[in-house]
Amino acid sequence: MPAKVKDEQTVSDSQQEFLTFVLGEENYALDIMTVKEIRGYESVTKIAKAPPYIKGVLNLRGDIVPIIDLRIKFEVGKATYDEFTIVIMLMIGDRVVGIVVDEVSDVIKVDADDIRPAPEFGVAFDSAYLHGLTTINEQMIILVNIEKLISSDELGLYDNSQTVEQG
Amino acid sequence: MSVDMSQFFGVFFEESQEHLDTMEHLLMEMSLDDPDPEDLNSIFRAAHSIKGGSGVFGFDALTGLTHVMENILDLARKEKLIITRPIVDQLLITIDRLKIILDCYQSEEAIDWDAIQKEIVALEALLGPKGGANSDDEVIDEGFGLFDTVVSGDDDDFGFFDALDEPPAREEKSYGFYETDEGESKSQTSEPEELDELAYALSDDDFGFFDDEPDASPIIENTTDKKTNQETLVSTQPDAKTTVQPSSPAANKNVASAHAKTVPDKSDSAAKKPKIDAKESSSIRVDTMKIDSLVNLVGELVITQSMIKIVGRDVHGEVEEKLEGAIGELSRNIREIQEAVMSMRMLPMSFAFNRFPRVVRDLAGKLEKEVDLVIEGGATEIDKGMIEKLVDPLTHLIRNSVDHGIEMPNIRAAKGKPRNGTVVLNAEQRGSSIIISITDDGAGLNREKILAKAMQNGLPVNHDTPDAQVWPLIFEAGFSTAEAVTDVSGRGVGMDVVRRNIESIGGAIDIQSAHEKGSVFRIRLPLTLAIVDGMCVSVTDQTFIIPLTNIIESIQPSKAQIKTIGNEQLLWVRGEYWPLLALHELMDIEGANTDPSTAIVVLVETARKRFGLLIDALEGQQQVVIKSLEQHYKRVPGVAGATIMGDGGVALILDIESIAAVVTIPNQTELTHAG
């Protein structure tokens, strides 16, 4: 199993670590360096006139942090909230944002050579927000360029498209 | 010097900035007919301190210019030169140049030596005829000046390090120089009068050093630095002596004074609490970051306190009473800590106001108008962060008043007004707000011109639009009624930036104006940006905070008090109709109580409007810490920020000012007739 992750192996230059998560029935992954923490979903304070995928804000140890539900934004799966619903807190630039996902599964190491370009269709996300695709255990994983996605005008999370480091 | 001096640059820049401000301020205030010698001395000392410091750090551009400046001032304070208006003007220009040089050094940009040379020539031109007439003076002065560069540099250097060196000065008395000081200071402690006499006997210069002392506020530094600093000090001291020795007799006189200077200075620190100036050592420079983090911590404390309060609700019986007492005590203490911490961030308004006499003077001169600026309430304290953001809008408003408000002297005379126009800049605290007003006795805003311009810009106005709605039009982007664009104002970008700046710090601005009588621009600002007293209100399960300053009262209206006109609901309270807004509509909340007669209406007011806000229930009054939504999200209309409640949840703080913008004020008379 060549694609199997070897935990002991240190990450070399061509390798990057990703956190895989599930939206609906698809497997996604995002750069683990952007992850601040992972926590259960808790009720948020709604914000008036925000689009439906912006669930609201919550208190993360004194910081007021917005929570967005990518399932609603990209119409994948059902936006249900139960005790298994997970929020991944991301650190994008110097801003914190939480994304709601169905499940967090694994940390994988992906070699740059193993990333194939994403197709133009068939994926819920615009290919502009993707690093590409990779296969682990014969399972397709979509590598999301989460920094680009979160700071995109499409999500409209920030005023006048803040300059956030691109991954 | 072997020590890396760059670590002291920051202090030098800050102090020099203060010295320049002092000089500017004093020059502006000086009466030409009867200059106060003490003022002249202060100005001289400020120039002298900058020269000394810059000499030490090798900022030659500063040294050169201040040196010439100092010569003029020295003659002036010795009454050998009569200060005239052109001299003051030139000195002010020099101060501007010094500020530019200081900025250049600070940002490590190239120095414009040519400009400096020109300034020096211009300054020397002031001295020129005088020097020719009295060559003796000139020689002495030159001697003084030259020599002074060395000694004063050293001595100011001393001043600089003094604060840092204080502890070692007391601990390690083995250095020759300190020994002398010690001796001197002992004599001072035993016979304070003697020292006073000594101080008086010496030139004003050294006495001045006392006055200067508070400026050189003690600085907390790494203790590891102290040793090296001291070595610097010691190594430079003999230098001064040797340089001084071969000087002319005139200079020698100064050696004495220069040395003596250090005596009272040093004894200050040795005697710890000198009688001469109680202010010494009463202030300390602290990084604002440290204060900010303290403010944050106090905020967290307020949240924790409300958490305890909530937990306390579950406690019953005898313990409940005790707990309540303890919580009461705690909240009192927290409020006091909070006030103390906030007051650290507070600065008197004069920090912003002091630059305006100069602005008005220059502008009036350029426009050939005669304008007096009256400043009131400069002692009113306001958050430091706000002062910084206020300077630009205030400058713009004042320039505006001078340029557009005040008429030319002959026009004023023709109107039967005094030739001198007056602009009054006032700051006062009202409750938890600061009101800053800029009042001029000029022509007032031109209603017709504004209306014409508004119509031209396609704004919805007509000739019957009330004044209160006409004046704010000047804050619209691209709005200028000036006939010609001058370099002073009239580009139409200013006023809308003014309003935006003021709103960005949670303030509001309104205008009153009367034809031929003048205008008043009134800025209302919150006292602090960090914590607000608020009323918690709820709509369904969501909590919102309304700042207490906006609330007039809360009522549960009867059916008879509610009127409906079209889609608008109005509330009849004590002979007046109030527009009624439903918070659940503003905030898009479903399932709220929509019947005002069973819900609660909070009557709120802003600087311009009053209206009722329909909510489900009141939850109680509480201090809340304002957290920024923008830090991780973006600005939300109608929301000033968020706060964390005692249960850890987030509540939004309403921005009544921006909500008011959507309220239309009903025409009272029309309604009364209709009703």
Crossing angle for the helix pair B37-57 and B135-171, to the nearest 10 degrees:
70
Nearest neighbour of B631 by CB, restricted to A48, A63, A157: A63
**B481, B453 contact by CB (below 8 A):** yes
Nearest neighbour of A47 by CB, restricted to B628, B636, B648: B636
- Judgement on whether residues B535 and B511 belong to the same structural domain of the protein: no
The answer to whether residue B141 scores a pLDDT higher than 80 is: no
| B405-422: average pLDDT | 88
Q: How far is the C-alpha of B559 from the C-alpha of B303, rounded, in Å?
A: 39
- Judgement on whether residues B560 and B502 belong to the same structural domain of the protein: no
**B508, B657 contact by CB (below 8 A):** yes
Q: How far is the C-alpha of A5 from the C-alpha of A19, rounded, in Å?
A: 13
Q: Quick check: is B177 in a domain?
A: no
pLDDT classification of B267: cutoffs 50, 70, 90? very low
pLDDT tens for residues B212-265? 444 444 444 444 444 444 444 444 444 444 334 443 444 444 444 444 343 444
CA angle B368, B370, B372 (to 5 degrees): 140
Greatest Cα-to-Cα distance within chain A, rounded to the nearest angstrom: 51
| B371-399: average pLDDT | 86
Which DSSP state fits B627? Answer: B
Range among B243-257, B399-413, B451-465 with highest mean pLDDT value? B399-413
pLDDT tens for residues A93-123? 888 999 999 889 889 988 888 888 877 666 6
Chain B residue with CA closest to A42: the answer is: B649
**B408, B368 contact by CB (below 8 A):** yes
Among B583, B625, B633, most A C-beta atoms within 10 A, so best to mutate, is B633
- Judgement on whether residues B544 and B649 belong to the same structural domain of the protein: yes
- Judgement on whether residues B645 and B561 belong to the same structural domain of the protein: yes
Q: Quick check: is B168 in a domain?
A: no
Boundaries of every domain in chain A: 15-150
**B215, B206 contact by CB (below 8 A):** no
Q: Quick check: is B608 in a domain?
A: yes
Q: What is the pLDDT of residue B239?
A: 41
Q: How far is the C-alpha of B410 from the C-alpha of B401, rounded, in Å?
A: 18
Q: Quick check: is B551 in a domain?
A: yes
pLDDT tens for residues B108-130? 777 778 888 887 888 777 776 54
- Judgement on whether residues B372 and B500 belong to the same structural domain of the protein: yes
ipTM for the whole predicted complex goes beyond 0.90? no
Q: What is the pLDDT of residue B210?
A: 43
Q: How far is the C-alpha of B156 from the C-alpha of B63, rounded, in Å?
A: 13
Helix (H, G, I), strand (E, B) or coil at A136: strand
Q: How far is the C-alpha of A45 from the C-alpha of A42, rounded, in Å?
A: 10
Helix (H, G, I), strand (E, B) or coil at B221: coil
Q: Which residue has the higher pLDDT, B596 or A6?
A: B596
Q: How far is the C-alpha of B557 from the C-alpha of B168, rounded, in Å?
A: 72
- Judgement on whether residues B510 and B543 belong to the same structural domain of the protein: no
Question: What does the block give as tokens for B657?
Answer: 């000012």
Inter-chain touch A64–B634, beta carbons under 8 Å: no
Q: How far is the C-alpha of A162 from the C-alpha of A153, rounded, in Å?
A: 9
Question: What does the block give as tokens for B30?
Answer: 């000086």
Range among B27-31, B179-183, B553-557 with highest mean pLDDT value? B553-557
Q: What is the pLDDT of residue B216?
A: 40
Q: What is the pLDDT of residue A12?
A: 57
Question: What does the block give as tokens for B315?
Answer: 């406690």
**Residue found under tokens 């007046």:** B576
Inter-chain touch A59–B650, beta carbons under 8 Å: yes
**A118, A130 contact by CB (below 8 A):** yes
Inter-chain touch B633–A44, beta carbons under 8 Å: no
Topology classification of domain A15-150: OB fold (Dihydrolipoamide Acetyltransferase, E2P) (2.40.50)
**Integer angstrom CA distances of residue B172 from B185, B231, B271, B364:** 15, 12, 15, 57
Question: What does the block give as tokens for B350?
Answer: 């004069």
| B462-482: average pLDDT | 75
Q: Quick check: is B11 in a domain?
A: yes
Q: How many CA atoms lie within 13 A of B117 on its CB side?
A: 3
Q: How far is the C-alpha of A52 from the C-alpha of A54, rounded, in Å?
A: 5
Interface check for B516 against chain A (CB to CB < 8 A): the answer is: no
Q: How far is the C-alpha of B436 from the C-alpha of B508, rounded, in Å?
A: 10
Q: How far is the C-alpha of B155 from the C-alpha of B45, rounded, in Å?
A: 12
Among A43, A44, A57, A153, most B C-beta atoms within 10 A, so best to mutate, is A57
Chain A residue with CA closest to B587: the answer is: A48
**Integer angstrom CA distances of residue B485 from B119, B409, B442:** 30, 21, 20
A9: closest CA of chain B, how far (Å): 36
Find the domain containing B94 and state its range: 5-131
| B278-300: average pLDDT | 75
Q: Which residue has the higher pLDDT, B178 or B403?
A: B403
Q: Quick check: is B172 in a domain?
A: no
Q: Quick check: is B418 in a domain?
A: yes
Nearest neighbour of A48 by CB, restricted to B634, B636, B644: B636
CATH of the domain at B451: 3.30.565.10
**Among the three residues B526, B551, B570, which one is the final residue of a domain in this structure?**
B526
pLDDT tens for residues A33-81? 999 999 998 888 888 888 888 999 988 877 889 999 988 888 887 888 8
Q: What are the helix (H) ranges across B223-317?
A: 223-244, 249-271, 288-312
Per DSSP bridges, beta strands B610-615 and B576-582 are parallel
- Judgement on whether residues B304 and B355 belong to the same structural domain of the protein: no
pLDDT tens for residues B156-214? 344 344 444 344 434 444 444 444 444 444 444 444 444 444 444 444 444 434 444 44
Chain B residue with CA closest to A92: the answer is: B632
pLDDT tens for residues B618-645? 988 887 878 878 878 887 888 888 888 8
* Identity of the amino acid at B535: M
- Count of A–B CB contacts within 8 Å? 70
Q: How far is the C-alpha of B583 from the C-alpha of B589, rounded, in Å?
A: 8
- Judgement on whether residues B622 and B508 belong to the same structural domain of the protein: no
Question: What does the block give as tokens for A97?
Answer: 């944002």
Helix (H, G, I), strand (E, B) or coil at A160: coil
pLDDT tens for residues A115-146? 888 776 666 677 778 888 888 888 888 888 88
**Residue found under tokens 């007003």:** B437
Q: How far is the C-alpha of B145 from the C-alpha of B64, rounded, in Å?
A: 11
**Number of structural domains found in chain B:** 5
- Judgement on whether residues B364 and B305 belong to the same structural domain of the protein: no
Q: What are the helix (H) ranges across B346-383?
A: 350-353, 356-367
Q: What is the pLDDT of residue B151?
A: 38
Rounded to the nearest integer, the mean pLDDT of chain B is: 72
**Among the three residues B480, B497, B526, which one is the final residue of a domain in this structure?**
B526
- Judgement on whether residues B520 and B551 belong to the same structural domain of the protein: no
Contacts of B649 in chain A (CB under 8 A): 43, 45, 58-59
Radius of gyration of chain A (CA): 16
CATH of the domain at B17: 1.20.120.160
- Judgement on whether residues B11 and B26 belong to the same structural domain of the protein: yes
Q: What is the pLDDT of residue A36?
A: 92
CB-based contacts of A23, cutoff 8 Å, min separation 6:
A70, A71, A74, A76, A77, A101, A102, A124
Nearest neighbour of A59 by CB, restricted to B635, B639, B649: B649
Nearest neighbour of B648 by CB, restricted to A48, A50, A59: A59
Radius of gyration of chain B (CA): 31
Q: What is the pLDDT of residue A151?
A: 83
CB-based contacts of B464, cutoff 8 Å, min separation 6:
none
- Judgement on whether residues B303 and B434 belong to the same structural domain of the protein: no
Greatest Cα-to-Cα distance within chain B, rounded to the nearest angstrom: 98
